[in-house]
Every structure is written in C-alpha cells, then in structure tokens.
C-alpha cells in the first residue's frame, strides 16, 4: 500500500475543485438573479405599455360614438340604443358596461367661462347606474366635474376617479371608472357634449390578461391614496408568496394618475435551479476528480480509461449544447426517435407550447397539432414522415400550424435536422412564430386588391409628387401611368373652384389628416367632370407626413340622377313648373325676404274656369296640351324674381315679390293679374289629333278666376296665406268667374273702387262727360294775355270731379291718350272762337300734354290734324309738358318739339324745379317759357329757400332767353315780389279762379 503522503494530489484536486465549484456557484447565482431582474424589468415595461394601450384602446368606441354626434344631428334614444347594440361591446369591449351622451348646454361663451351645464341625456343600457344619472347635470357631481373639465380643455379622452359599481348578484361593489370624450363638430363650432362610458375594472383586467399573458402581478390604485377605497385592482397572487422583485410607478391615463405596483411571480418549480445544477455538478465533478486522482494515484491505467469516457461524454453534451445555443431565439425541442418522445426543450419552447418543460417532455409530439387532416394525412402520419425525412439527412423547412396546450393556434416556420449522437437517433426541431408575417402578407394581398378597386387611387410623396396610380385612375382621367408619375396632381385641376376651396381642403388635411368631398376635375381630353375625392395623410413614427393617398370616383351619373330626382321631386311632370312642394318652399323664402327687407309680396291663386268641360269633351290629352300652353303664358307674364307653380289639376299659383307699400302693392298685384287674365283669355289652338280624332285643330277660349292676398312679413303662416288666396279665388268664382278678388276687405274695396272708376272713365270718354275750365294768365300790367285749359269731369252721380282724382287712373289705363286728344280739339275750337272777336283774338291758350300722349308715335300728326281740322292758329296754341316727359328718349322729344315749333306752336316747361331740372335739357329743348311751380310761389314770402329757388328760375330763364310765368299767385305781395325779381307773367286765384269760358272775362 501507498502511504498517505502519496495521496496528497487527490486531496489537493478535491480542495481546488470544491473552491472552483463554490466560486462558480456564487457567480451563477448572481448572474441568474441579474438575469431575472432584467427579465422582470423588461416584463414590467411590456405590461405597462400593453396595459396603457389596452385602456386607451377602449376610447376607440367613444370616438366612433362621438362621430355620430359631431355632424350636429339630434340622436333619439331609440337610435342610440340601436347604435350601442350594433357596436358589439360584449364581444370586442366587454369592460364597457354602458355608453351615454351628456349634452353641453350654454354655448361657447359659457363653455369658455366654465359655467355650462352638462346634462346626461342618453344611455344604453338605461338601467341601474345610468338611470340614476339620466337628466342630471354631471358638472354638479364631484365625481365627474374634474374629468369633464379636463376633457373639455384637452379635447382628448379623460377618465374619472374610482366608482363603486354594484354587482348584479347583490355582492360587494366592484371597482369601475368612467371614460369621457368631448364631442367637437368638424366645423369647429362650440362643444356639443361628451360621450361617456363606464368601464368595469375586473372585466377590463380579465380581458387584458387574456390578451396579454404576463409573469408579473399587478396592483392598481387610483391617485395617491392607500386605503381600500382607492384600489382599482389587486392581483390575487400578490398575497400568496413574497415576491422576489417589486417595482412601483405612476401612470397617467386620460389625465388621471394611477399608482401601479408590479411584483414578480414565483418561477416555475424545477427539479434543480441553474445555480443548484452548477453546485451539484461542481460537487460531482470534484468528487469525480478526487476519485480520478485517487484512482490515478492507485491505478493510472484505470484513470486514463475513465478520462477517455468522460471526454467523449463531454464532447457529445457540448455538441448538443452548441446546436441548442445556435437556435436560441427559436423554440427548440429534441426528439428521440427510438423512445418516440421529446427529450429536451428550451425556454422559448415552453412559452410557445404553453407548458413547463417537464410537462412538455411527457407526451408525444402529435398532441401539439390541431385535430383534423393536413394535406390528407393525420398528425401521427405527418410526424412519422417528418422523422423519416430528417433521418435521411439535411435540414427540412416547412410551415405548420401548431396548437398550445391552452388551445391557442400559432402559425410557425418549422426547421427539422438530425443531431449527431452516438448510438442514438436524435432530431432537433425549431419553431419560429410567423403569425405576424403571414398576417402582414395577407394585409399586403388585401391592399393590392384594394388598390386595384373600382375607385381611382393616387399615391403621392410629401411634396405632392405622384408616385403611383391604379387602373381605375387611368380609366377615369384618360392618363397613362407614365404620363402622371412624377407630376403634381394639379394637372387634374378644372379651375372650377377658387383658392378658398383648396385652402379649406388643405387646412382640414393638416388639422385632421383627412378630407373628403365633391370636386370638379379635368380629364386628359379636357372634359370637366364631378368626382368624390377622399385624401388621407400618411404619417411616419415621428408624426411627419410621408405620403398622401387620394381615392376618387366619377359621380357624373350620380349627379345626373340627383338632378332627375330633383326634377321629379320639385317640378310638375306635365308643365315643367314648380310643384306644390317647391312652391311652398319658395313661399317660405318669400315671407322671410319680405320680413327682412320690409317689402310687400302677393300670392295669387288661379283657377281655370270650366276646364272640366274641356277635359270631358275632348279628352285628357287635349286638356294636357291646353295646360302646357297655359303654363307657358303664365311664365311669360311675370318677372324672373317671381314664381309660377302648378298645384295640380287646373290650379296655378303665382308668387310676386319685392312690391311697394301696401296700397301700391295692391295696385301692382292687380295690374299683373289683369295682364295675366288678358293673356289667358287669348284664343288657344288645340290639336284634336291628340284625342284620336281627325287631323284638325280647334280654337278654344278660357277665362280664369284669381284670388289674391298680400303679405309683408311672417305674421301669417304659409298655410294661412294659401287659405286666404283660396278664399279670395272662390269669391272671384262666386262673382261670375273671369274675375279677381283680394282677400283683405279694405283692399278689395279699393280695388273695386278703382275698377268702378276705370269703368266710369271709359263711359265718360265715350259719352263726353268732360268740360274745360280756363284760368287767366296776365302780364305785369294786369292785362289778360291768355289762359290755361284745365280739364274737369262732370260726373252724373258725383258732380264735378277734380283732375287729381282721375288723371292717374287715366294714365294707367291709357285713357289719357283719347282724353288728351279731346282736350286738344276742344282747346283749338275755343281758339277759333276767340279769333273771331277783336278783344280776344290776341289770347293764347295753354294745353297740358301727358308723357304717355307725347310719346305716341303719331303725336305730331295728331296735333297737326287737329289744327288743320279746327282751323286754329298754331301760334296761339301753347303746349305745356312736365319734366317727366324729358326723362326718356330725349332725341325723339327734341325732334317732335322742333317739328311742331316750326309749325308755329310754342312750348312751356310746367312745374319747373320739382323734378330733375337738368340744364342740359333746357339747353337742348326748343322751349319758349318756364313755369314756376305753385309750391315755390305759395311760401315765397315765408321760406327763404323758396324765394331763392323762384329767383334762380327767373334769372335762369332770362339768361336762356326764355319767358317766365308763375302759377299759383294768390296775393298781391307775392306778385310784387315776383315782379321785383323780373317775373312779369302770372297765373293764379289773385286774377281769377278756373271757370267756364263764359266767365273768363267777367270782372276784367
């Protein structure tokens, strides 16, 4: 035997091995702890980010609901319940227990001052917690006020503090919070309200944990409080075992501060930890080395054999380890063909298959395949084929869908290769999760199909250079892709829109990232067409725009259809006139315009008399032909600003706008109605072949009954005006048809009086009821130089009628023309009588001529004919015209006056100074005399302005070489003043009132 001293190398090896083992064990334990800490910190950051996104992701539902109210339309409770039901909250957002809408009341000013009310008006479902809030002002509730103000100020989602939500089964209340989103219209108007949602925290967390598995436990508190009333969520695992790592931080969500605590969960129980394995391996190695050294010391040959076997084992382990390490990012398993089971796996495999390593290695590989067939083969057959191919050599790569033990399906890229082993058949399989890649590929395929949709698509860079267009773009615009790529979309501009249109469009794109609306573009061939365009800005990670995507479609056919629908909806199919619907709308507009401008308007209701007889005797086709002609006559009889419409059958309506004051408005309406009646009374030539008869035509005459009502504001409704016009129309029918009636009794009386006066005037002209009175004209010495012929009406019932009561009616009815000729003839006959007496032969006679009479084309011939027929001396005849005669066709006026003046007649400008008093007219017209109007003479002694005007007229006449005569001289003082200013001819009651010719020279 060897002595103990010969064994010292074995003991030294043991001590060194144990020291190295302890050092490796300490280093491994620290390394494992650091790695666990890094894994914990990474998991905390991931869970923090995922949880924040998960909570804010609930706001998408509120944004969808807010868009419903942003258009400004009122949403009913039924519409709200249907809308919320259609969102599928239970499936996609189970934590949202209800959605509601609170309307902001008070306007922009109140909103800015924080004094607005927020009334909770809509909720779905509307039970429990919601029912308590309906109709309440949330601003008065401390639970809501801060969150509402925060949402209003930031225009972003805001959440409230913790809310105790009573459980359905009557248990302890659950934690919840409210999320609210302000509703701001797209036009930028005042805040409309808030969309609110109540989120059930346990459901929120359960949904989050289901979507995002994690290895940390969470505790969430609302604000800084530590009491149980501040706890939003506490992981049940928090109190079971003391965590290895704990991390606390605050989280700002929706303007609300949450305190979140993270605690590591106990690691899965394993047979040996890594540090323990190192320690055990080191001890075993130490013992092995001690044994080897002992054996070496006792038996060197035996030690060599043991060392060789150990070296081979280490090399095999090293080869397996090297392969596993090379594929470490993937899920890796090792399959033993002979034992038909998995013998090794890494941590990624545990996560992929959803089980711990021990459970993963217990069963066959087929359990991780979904049930069913794969390309006609079962899972067992598929695994067997895969093994056989791997044993044949080389690496096999293919896609497979696997199923975790929790049932989750994952699309993986699988790589299978045989491992080098001594007397064993080992196969290594690695799995790479390619679900996201496959999803991205599917999205790309969908995007490619979408890009080649029926709508035109154009993609530009941030500088608006076209990068790509699709086939629909080319079909709509006529451009080929190579003709537009690299160019600006401005090549499509039609110049149909102004600068403001494009500024508003790009303002919307900058503010919201999108714009859509109707736009007019130009094709390659120059055609202009309407389109519907949508523009979306694509932004990069830093928020800057990288591309613009425009989609558009040609809506030419849709616009044509809209025009056709509008025509059918608002216009009569037979006559093309506006129908009742459009007429009522225009009547509303006319009432509003009348109230705004203080102008009158008139509503006329026409009914064709005895139209039914025409329809029954000649048929509806002929009746329709007649109605079309009536519509054309009505349309041609009114102004462009007025409206003619067909109510149906033989009833038509006319709306007159922008009429004068009430009395004049009635006259204007009556004038239009009389004009239309005259047009409708003209014969109609009807084609009888439309009735199926012979090729012949028939002349037909028709009368109409008209009801008229006036309006000036919106004091009467549209229906009331229609009733009044209808009542007036039936009064016209009751009066014997072919008549018109006003609804207003006073106006009707005035119209009747005018009609009676018009009839009396026509009878008076026919029966010669008019006489002439004469008023003296004298010179400065008082000698009578002539007279003015003044018309008087000897009415058989009313006696003497002054011209002021009937001259205007005679002008409007054109009776002034025959009446003026009669006055001219009577005056010329009187001149002939005076010429026969020596004491009257020198007298001249002034006759007033109206503007309508003067502008008759044959006025000059009429005057000369009268002079020739009566034999009167034209030098004794003076025609008085007013300034209104000179306002139109001045060249014609000068020509006529020149011809008559050449025949010896003289002209006086009557009422000078009351009109335009144009010096240009005085310069060009061949006048002989200016006549100062009585309005200046009456107050010439009391009003300095009248005195100056009278003096100016006298001086002007003298400077132009015209005689001047003053009318209306009532006192001697007036005459003396006029004489002092150079006026030496007078007419007025001072020298005698107008009287018959027999009394003209009495008292001279």
- Over the stretch 266-311, which tens digit does the pLDDT of each residue have? 665 555 666 677 777 777 877 777 777 666 666 655 656 666 777 7
What is the Cα–Cα distance from 254 to 53, expressed in whole angstroms? 11
Q: Which helix (H) or strand (E) holds 704?
A: strand 704-711
Residue 833: the pLDDT is 93
CB 550 within 8 Å of CB 535: yes
Residue 1: the pLDDT is 46
- CB atoms near residue 502 (< 10 Å): 13
Per-residue pLDDT averaged across 84-98, rounded? 84
Task: Read off φ and ψ for residue 606, nearest 5 degrees.
Answer: -105, 140
Per-residue pLDDT averaged across 846-861, rounded? 92
Q: Which residues contact 233 (CB under 8 A, 6 or more apart)?
A: 175, 201, 202, 205, 218, 219, 220
**pLDDT for 871 beyond 70:** yes
Q: Dig out the tokens for 147 from the structure.
A: 């969150």
**pLDDT for 186 beyond 60:** yes
What is the Cα–Cα distance from 729 to 727, expressed in whole angstroms? 5
What pLDDT band is residue 771 in, cutting at 50, 70 and 90?
Answer: very high
The helix/strand/coil state of 295 is helix
906-912 and 877-881 strand pairing: parallel
CB 320 within 8 Å of CB 344: yes
Per-residue pLDDT averaged across 464-490, rounded? 89
In this predicted model, which residue has the larger pLDDT, 663 or 333?
333
844-848 and 784-795 strand pairing: parallel
Lowest mean pLDDT among 48-62, 517-531, 909-923: 909-923
At 617-640, the pLDDT tens digits run: 888 888 888 899 999 999 998 888
Residue 917: the pLDDT is 57
Burial grade of 412 (CB within 10 A; 0-12, 13-18, 19 or more): buried
At 129-183, the pLDDT tens digits run: 666 777 788 888 777 888 888 888 888 899 888 888 775 555 678 888 888 889 8
What is the Cα–Cα distance from 446 to 432, expressed in whole angstroms? 24
What pLDDT band is residue 829 in, cutting at 50, 70 and 90?
Answer: very high
**pLDDT for 351 beyond 70:** yes
Per-residue pLDDT averaged across 790-803, rounded? 90
**In the chain, pLDDT over 90 holds for what percent of residues?**
19
Beta bridge partners of 534: 516, 551
With both helix axes pointing from N to C terminus, report the angle between 859-870 and 890-902 in degrees, rounded to the nearest 10. 20
Residue 986: the pLDDT is 95
Residue 191: the pLDDT is 81
The helix/strand/coil state of 650 is coil
**pLDDT for 884 beyond 70:** yes
**pLDDT for 690 beyond 70:** no
Is the bond preceding residue 125 a cis peptide, omega within 30 degrees? yes
The helix/strand/coil state of 285 is helix
Left (φ > 0), alpha (ψ -120 to 50) or beta: where does 579 sit?
beta
Helix, strand, coil % in the chain, rounded to nearest 5: 50, 25, 25
Tokens 């009914």 appear where? Answer: 607
Residue 395: the pLDDT is 81
Task: Read off φ and ψ for residue 689, nearest 5 degrees.
Answer: -65, -20
Query: What is the rounded average pLDDT for all residues in the chain?
Result: 83
- Specify which of 213-217, 339-343, 768-772 reaches the highest per-range mean pLDDT: 768-772
What is the Cα–Cα distance from 130 to 176, expressed in whole angstroms? 14
At 100-115, the pLDDT tens digits run: 888 888 755 544 555 4
From residue 755, give the alpha-carbon distance in Å to each of 230, 748, 749, 750, 937: 91, 10, 10, 9, 37
* Residue from 356, 416, 421 nearest 390 by CA: 416
Residue 349: the pLDDT is 83
Residue 897: the pLDDT is 92
* Residue from 70, 11, 50, 318 nearest 189 by CA: 70
- CB atoms near residue 34 (< 10 Å): 10
What pLDDT band is residue 576 in, cutting at 50, 70 and 90?
Answer: confident
Beta bridge partners of 704: 608
Q: Dig out the tokens for 312 from the structure.
A: 């081979």
pTM attached to this predicted model: 0.37
What is the Cα–Cα distance from 933 to 914, expressed in whole angstroms? 7
Tokens 């007496």 appear where? Answer: 837
What pLDDT band is residue 414 in, cutting at 50, 70 and 90?
Answer: confident
Residue 301: the pLDDT is 54
**In the chain, pLDDT over 70 holds for what percent of residues?**
88
The helix/strand/coil state of 317 is helix
Lowest mean pLDDT among 64-78, 119-133, 244-258, 770-784: 119-133
Residue 175: the pLDDT is 87
Per-residue pLDDT averaged across 335-357, rounded? 84
What is the Cα–Cα distance from 627 to 636, expressed in whole angstroms? 14
Per-residue pLDDT averaged across 736-746, rounded? 79
At 354-381, the pLDDT tens digits run: 888 888 888 777 778 787 655 667 777 7
* Residue from 197, 184, 190 nearest 69 by CA: 184
Per-residue pLDDT averaged across 875-882, rounded? 92
Q: Which residues contact 721 (CB under 8 A, 6 or more apart)?
A: 587, 591, 603, 709, 711
What is the Cα–Cα distance from 98 to 121, expressed in whole angstroms? 13
Residue 692: the pLDDT is 57
Q: Which residues contact 291 (CB under 8 A, 6 or more apart)?
A: none
CA 106 to chain centre: 23
Lowest mean pLDDT among 101-105, 375-379, 496-500, 554-558: 375-379
What pLDDT band is residue 823 in, cutting at 50, 70 and 90?
Answer: very high
Strands in 426-433's sheet, in edge-to-edge order, are 341-345, 331-336, 426-433, 409-419, 396-403
What is the Cα–Cα distance from 197 to 94, expressed in whole angstroms? 12
**pLDDT for 93 beyond 80:** yes
Q: Which helix (H) or strand (E) holds 519?
A: strand 514-522
* Residue from 322, 324, 364 nearest 342 by CA: 364
């Amino acid at each position: 035997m060897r002595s103990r001293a010969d064994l010292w190398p074995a003991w030294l090896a043991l001590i060194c091995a144990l020291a190295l083992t302890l050092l490796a064990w300490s280093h491994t334990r620290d390394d494992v702890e650091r790695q666990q800490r890094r894994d914990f910190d990474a998991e905390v950051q991931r869970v923090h980010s995922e949880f924040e996104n998960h909570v804010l992701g609930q706001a998408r539902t509120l944004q969808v609901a807010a868009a419903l109210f942003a258009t400004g339309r009122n949403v009913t409770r039924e519409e709200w319940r249907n809308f919320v039901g259609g969102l599928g909250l239970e499936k996609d957002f189970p934590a949202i227990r209800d959605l509601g809408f609170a309307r902001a009341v008070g306007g922009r000013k109140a909103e800015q001052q924080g004094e607005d009310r927020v009334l909770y008006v809509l909720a779905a479902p509307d039970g429990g917690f919601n029912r308590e809030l309906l109709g309440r002002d949330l601003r008065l509730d401390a639970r809501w006020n801060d969150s509402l103000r925060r949402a209003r100020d930031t225009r972003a989602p805001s959440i409230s503090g913790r809310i105790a939500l009573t459980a359905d089964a009557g248990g302890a209340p659950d934690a919840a919070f409210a999320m609210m989103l302000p509703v701001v219209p797209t036009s930028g108007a005042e805040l409309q309200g808030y969309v609110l949602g109540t989120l059930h925290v346990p459901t929120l967390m359960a949904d989050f944990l289901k979507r995002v598995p994690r290895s940390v436990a969470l505790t969430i508190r609302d604000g800084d409080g530590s009491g149980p009333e501040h706890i939003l969520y506490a992981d049940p695992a928090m109190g079971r075992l003391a965590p290895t790592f704990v991390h606390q931080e605050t989280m700002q969500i929706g303007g609300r501060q949450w305190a979140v605590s993270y605690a590591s969960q106990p690691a899965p129980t394993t047979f040996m930890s890594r540090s323990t394995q190192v320690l055990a391996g080191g001890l075993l190695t130490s013992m092995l080395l001690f044994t080897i050294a002992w054996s070496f010391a006792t038996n060197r040959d035996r030690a060599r054999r043991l060392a060789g076997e150990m070296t081979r084992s280490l090399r095999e382990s090293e080869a397996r380890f090297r392969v596993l390490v090379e594929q470490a990012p993937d899920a890796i398993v090792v399959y033993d063909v002979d034992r038909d089971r998995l013998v090794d796996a890494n941590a990624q495999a545990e996560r992929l298959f959803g089980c711990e390593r021990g459970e993963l290695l217990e069963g066959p590989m087929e359990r991780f395949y979904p049930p069913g067939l794969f390309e006609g083969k079962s899972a067992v057959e598929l695994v067997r084929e895969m093994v056989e191919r791997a044993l044949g050599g080389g690496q096999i790569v293919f896609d497979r869908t696997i199923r975790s033990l929790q049932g989750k399906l994952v699309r993986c890229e699988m790589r299978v290769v045989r491992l080098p082993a001594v007397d064993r058949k080992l196969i290594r399989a690695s799995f790479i999760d390619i679900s996201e890649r496959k999803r991205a590929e599917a999205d790309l395929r969908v995007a490619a199909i979408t890009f080649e949709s029926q709508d035109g698509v154009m993609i530009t860079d941030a500088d608006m250079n076209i990068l790509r267009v699709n086939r629909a773009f080319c079909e709509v615009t006529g451009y080929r892709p190579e003709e537009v790529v690299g160019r600006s979309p401005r090549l499509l501009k039609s110049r149909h829109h102004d600068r403001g249109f494009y500024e508003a469009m790009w303002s919307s794109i900058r503010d919201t990232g999108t714009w859509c609306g109707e736009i007019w573009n130009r094709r390659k061939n120059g055609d202009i067409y309407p389109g519907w365009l949508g523009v979306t800005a694509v932004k990069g990670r830093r928020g800057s725009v990288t591309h613009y995507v425009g989609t558009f479609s040609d809506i030419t056919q849709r616009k044509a259809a809209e025009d056709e629908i509008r025509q059918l909806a608002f216009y009569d199919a037979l006559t093309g006139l506006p129908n009742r619907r459009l007429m009522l709308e225009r009547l509303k507009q006319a009432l509003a315009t009348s109230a705004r401008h203080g102008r009158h308007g008139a509503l006329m209701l026409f009914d064709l008399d005895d139209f039914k007889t025409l329809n029954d005797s000649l048929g509806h086709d002929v009746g329709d032909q007649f109605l079309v002609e009536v519509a054309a006559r009505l349309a041609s009889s009114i102004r462009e600003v007025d409206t003619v419409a067909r109510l149906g059958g033989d009833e038509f309506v006319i709306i007159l706008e922008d009429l004068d004051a009430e009395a004049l408005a009635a006259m204007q309406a009556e004038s239009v109605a009389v004009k239309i009646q005259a047009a409708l009374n003209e014969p109609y030539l009807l084609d009888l072949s439309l009735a199926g008869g012979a090729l012949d035509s028939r002349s037909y005459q028709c009368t109409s009954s008209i009801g008229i009502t006036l309006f000036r504001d919106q004091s009467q409704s549209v229906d009331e005006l229609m009733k009044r016009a209808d009542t007036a129309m039936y009064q016209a029918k009751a009066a014997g048809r072919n008549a018109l009636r006003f609804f207003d009794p006073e106006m009707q009386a005035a119209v009747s009086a005018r009609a009676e006066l018009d009839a009396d005037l026509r009878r008076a002209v026919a029966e010669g009821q008019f006489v002439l009175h004469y008023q003296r004209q004298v010179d400065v010495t008082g000698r009578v130089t002539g007279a003015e012929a003044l018309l008087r009406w000897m009415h058989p019932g009313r006696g003497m009628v002054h011209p002021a009561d009937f001259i205007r009616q005679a002008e409007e009815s054109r009776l002034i023309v025959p009446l003026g000729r009669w006055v001219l003839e009577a005056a010329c006959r009187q001149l002939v009588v005076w010429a026969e007496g020596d004491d009257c032969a020198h007298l001249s006679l002034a006759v007033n001529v109206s503007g309508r009479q003067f502008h008759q084309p044959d006025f000059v011939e009429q005057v000369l004919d009268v002079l020739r027929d009566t034999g009167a001396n034209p030098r004794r005849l003076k025609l008085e015209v007013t300034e209104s005669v000179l306002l139109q066709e001045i060249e014609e006026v000068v020509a006529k006056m020149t011809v008559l003046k050449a025949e010896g007649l003289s002209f006086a400008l009557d009422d000078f100074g009351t009109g335009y008093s144009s010096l240009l007219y005085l310069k060009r017209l061949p006048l002989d005399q200016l006549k100062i109007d009585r309005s200046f003479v009456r107050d010439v002694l009391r009003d300095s302005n009248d005195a100056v005007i009278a003096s100016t007229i006298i001086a002007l006449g003298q400077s132009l070489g015209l005689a001047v005569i003053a009318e209306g001289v009532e006192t001697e003082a007036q005459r003396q003043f006029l004489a002092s200013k150079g006026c030496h001819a007078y007419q007025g009651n001072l020298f005698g009132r107008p009287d018959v010719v027999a009394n003209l020279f009495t008292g001279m």
